Amino acid sequence: MEQIKVFLNEDEMPRQWYNIAADLPHPMPPPVGPDGKPIGPEMLAPVFPMNLIEQEVSTQRWIDIPEEVLQILWQWRPSPLCRALRLEQALGTPAKIYYKNEGVSAPGSHKPNTAVPQAYYNKVAGIKRITTETGAGQWGSSLAMACQMFGIECKVYMVRISFDQKPFRKMMMQTWGATCIASPSNTTNAGRAILAQDPNTPGSLAIAISEAIEDAVTSKNTRYALGSVLNHVLLHQTIIGLEAKKQFAKIGIYPDVIIGCAGGGSNFAGMAFPFLADKIAGKKNPRVIAVEPSACPKMTRGVFAYDSGDVAMMTPLLPMYSLGHTFVPQPIHAGGLRYHGMAPLVSHTLREGLIEAQAIPQLECYKAAVLFAKTEGFIPAPETSHAIAMAIREANRAKEEGKAKVIALNWSGHGIMDLSGYQAYFDGKLSDYNLTEAEIQKAEDCLKGLPKPPPLK
């Protein structure tokens, strides 16, 4: 019988995170202010606790996972690595497809892998309250749960349109003791300014970030938390790839292709970076593919630039592939992939030629998601469907080439809270968005006048 599931025991779970910054062929450009001067760690202190800022700038290869964090991660980790045998059979491919199931956490995605350590480090630093933003609610619900576990108050600014359309995530946050309000709100200057211009605005992630940061820096004992993009977030997610490597080693396999969907880049990096360590060391040479939606193509059609993380430009300028902080993506259902910029570390590995980027339109993704659900049972999140669609493309290619390669994808989360997207797909209400060059150019105009990152050397 084929082995379709590879488990690790609790005591085989990694005890350290992997920091790729230690192994990069060229160093990363630093975050800078509007004047182009590097931002020092102390300038981030009003926003994040110092222990997380230290991780953000660290170049130490291995960083210990605190015991208190392991205790909680053990509730759903190590996560299973599964063979998608029935999907392979449906495709008639000689390729083997494996998926690392991150949908087994209580909130249903990879996001608690970083929410738990972020809440822990805030707790240790004496912080009593954390603010954040959330789009579709996956991050807000993960942070709500983590804060509850460490006795920290949690306030979530949820993008208005999702707040109205997706009440279930909001209820999850409430169940875990967090306060969730619609953004823009009238409780911050940033929110009031937007509402004065347009009282009926649907809101955006970039607006909600501005509100959450303003709340954090103007409130007592409060810091802000981000669910993707930043170095320390990607660091916490490497537990995914470290486990996957151990699981593949158990069955004597090394994947030929590694795939993750990429919004801010954290689940992709979490899966990919531990394998990239082997690639950088010249030991192995897997293809590593980050998949983005065609409607938000920052890596395949954006520019590498210094850009801000939010509309109000409250964040430092980060070196990243971006469509510009004013970019407003089409309302595709993969809410978690609608961010204008890509994590600096992922952007850097793309520049270095260590990874590839591909964009896939949403109809192909939904088709792939439905085939996955019909064959493997689990219903994927709309974000995850991008990784599945890419794996199917690769499996079909293996069939044409008659090659028995091994494809590994990170199954970032389940879609049980996102069934309205599936309904729209079944009803034929979804379409693909083709962004014109002019639209992209217009969005990128906001980058003019900002400092430029140095060339790779």
Ligand X SMILES: *Cc1c(COP(=O)(O)O)cnc(C)c1O
Enumerate residues 27-56 that contact ligand X by CB under 6 A. Answer: none
Q: To the nearest whole angstrom, how small is the minimum distance from the Cβ of residue 251 to ligand X?
A: 26
Stretch that binds ligand X, among 12-20, 113-121, 255-263, 431-439 (CB under 6 A): 255-263
Q: Which of 222, 266, 315, 362 binds ligand X (CB under 6 A)?
A: 266
Q: Does 385 bind ligand X (CB under 6 A)?
A: no
Q: Which is nearer to ligand X, 261 or 391 (CB)?
A: 261
Beta strands in 262-399 (DSSP E): 287-293, 303-308, 317-322, 356-360
The residue from 55, 79, 101, 109 that contacts ligand X (CB under 6 A) is 109
- 225 closest CA partner among 49, 42, 58: 49
- Does residue 105 interact with ligand X by CB under 6 A? no
- The nearer residue to ligand X, 194 or 203, going by C-beta atoms, is 203
Return the number of other C-beta atoms located less than 10 Å from residue 45's C-beta.
12
Least distance from ligand X to the Cβ atom of residue 9, Å: 26
Q: Does 140 bind ligand X (CB under 6 A)?
A: no
Interface pattern 214-253 for ligand X (x via CB under 6 A): --------------x-------------------------
Q: Identify the CA nearest to 337 among candidates 275, 379, 274, 290.
A: 290
Task: Identify which of 325, 412, 360 has the alpha carbon closest to the alpha carbon of residue 136.
Answer: 412
Closest residue by Cα to residue 287 from 324, 332, 257: 257
* Half-sphere exposure at residue 65, Cβ-oriented, CA atoms within 13 angstroms: 23
Q: Rounded to whole angstroms, how far apart are CA atoms 286 and 303?
A: 26
Residue 78 binding ligand X, by CB under 6 A:
no
Instruction: Tell me the closest approach of the beta carbon of residue 41 to ligand X, in angstroms.
Output: 23
405 binds ligand X (CB under 6 A): no
> Which part of the chain contacts ligand X (CB under 6 A), choosing from 90-98, 186-194, 196-204, 261-269?
261-269
Tell me, letter by letter, the H, E, C secondary structure of 369-413.
Answer: HHHHHHHHCCCECCCHHHHHHHHHHHHHHHHHHCCCCEEEEEECE
Q: Does 173 bind ligand X (CB under 6 A)?
A: no
Of 143, 154, 381, 409, the one binding ligand X by CB under 6 A: 381
Q: Which stretch binds ligand X (CB under 6 A): 30-38, 202-210, 259-267, 281-289?
A: 259-267
Stretch 336-355 residues interacting with ligand X (CB under 6 A): 336-337
Contact status: 309 vs ligand X (CB under 6 A): no
Among 29, 49, 255, 265, binds ligand X (CB under 6 A): 265
Whole-angstrom distance, CA of residue 291 vs CA of residue 383: 10
Q: Least distance from C-beta 67 to ligand X, angstroms?
A: 26
Question: For tokens 């937007």, what's the residue?
Answer: 194
Closest distance of CB 321 from ligand X, Å: 13
Provide, rounded to whole angstroms, the least separation between the CB of residue 128 and ligand X. 26
Q: What is the DSSP letter of 102?
A: G
Residues 160, 135: Cα–Cα separation, whole Å: 9
Is residue 132 a contact residue for ligand X (CB under 6 A)? no
384 binds ligand X (CB under 6 A): yes
Q: How far is the CB of 275 from ligand X (least distance, A)?
A: 16
**Of the two residues 213 and 342, which places its CB atom closer to ligand X in the complex?**
342
- Rule CB under 6 A: say whether 262 interacts with ligand X: yes
Indicate whether 87 belongs to the interface with ligand X (CB under 6 A).
Answer: no
Q: Which residue is nearest to ligand X (CB)?
A: 413
Check residue 114 for interaction with ligand X (CB under 6 A).
Answer: no
- Alpha-carbon gap, residue 212 to 315, rounded angstroms: 12
- Tokens 């009803």 -> residue: 427
Q: Does 362 bind ligand X (CB under 6 A)?
A: no
Q: Is 375 exposed, middle or buried (0-12, 13-18, 19+ CB in 10 A)?
A: middle
The DSSP bridge pattern shows strands 406-411 and 96-101 to be parallel
Distance between terminal CA atoms of the chain? 51
Q: Report the residue from 412, 421, 430, 443 that binds ligand X according to the rule CB under 6 A.
A: 412
Q: What does the block give as tokens for 59?
A: 């170049």
Cβ-based burial of 453 (10 A; exposed 0-12, middle 13-18, buried ≥19) = buried
Q: How many residues bind ligand X (CB under 6 A)?
A: 19
- Whichever of 188 and 267 has its CB closer to ligand X, that residue is 267
Helices 362-376 and 419-426 pack at an angle, to 10 degrees, of 110
Judge contact between 264 and 232, C-beta under 8 A.
no
Q: Which residues bind ligand X (CB under 6 A)?
A: 109, 111, 138, 228, 261-268, 336-337, 381, 383-384, 412-413
